[in-house]
Amino acid sequence: MKKSKLVKAFATRDVKLEATLTDSEGSPLSGKTINFYYRLHGETTWSNAGSGTTDTNGKASVTVSLSVPNSYDFRAEFPGDADYEASSDEKDNVKIKAKTTVTLTVTPL
């Protein structure tokens, strides 16, 4: 008789990554491309989460679906252009938890 292995299924959770791009005066830059990346904390290879274009407030975002619970590193990069130099920001060791649900039952006696 063949034994079957129990395979643990991981839940996923959508996570919004948002970056704000400003110039040296703090004014938002619109119409610029921001590239987003993520990786499991402790890994060395980044995964591409996509790119977004900044709005009039300098904000760009993407949504990525991640296995949870896990800790991740996140990165947003502006590659630079003819007028502005490249810049980036990272958030390391961010714990993304699995969602839970509480169901309350009320029973009159």
> What pTM, to 2 d.p., does this model score?
0.85
Whether residue 102 is contained in a domain is answered as no
Of 1-10, 28-37, 78-87, the poorest mean pLDDT is in: 1-10
103, part of any domain: no
Q: Could you give the CA distance from residue 12 to residue 47 in angstroms, rounded to a whole number?
A: 16
The predicted-structure confidence for 18-29, as pLDDT tens digits, reads as follows 999 999 999 999
- Provide mean pLDDT across the span 5-29: 86
Is 53 part of a structural domain of the chain?
yes
pLDDT at 63: 97
| pLDDT recorded at residue 29 | 98
1 within domain boundaries = no
Q: Is residue 4 part of a domain?
A: no
> Into how many domains does the chain fold?
1
Structural domain boundaries, residue 67: 11-96
Q: Give me the pLDDT at residue 3, please.
A: 55
Q: Quick one: 8 exposed, middle or buried, by C-beta within 10 A (0-12, 13-18, 19+)?
A: exposed
Answer whether residue 15 is part of any domain: yes
| DSSP at 33 | E
Give the CATH number for residue 66. 2.60.40.10
Query: Is 108 part of a structural domain of the chain?
Result: no
The pLDDT confidence band at residue 2, using thresholds 50, 70 and 90, is: low
Residue 70 in domain: yes
Task: Report the helix count and the strand count for the chain, using DSSP H and E.
Answer: 0, 6
Interval 37-91: pLDDT, tens: 999 999 999 999 999 999 999 999 999 999 999 999 999 999 999 999 999 999 9
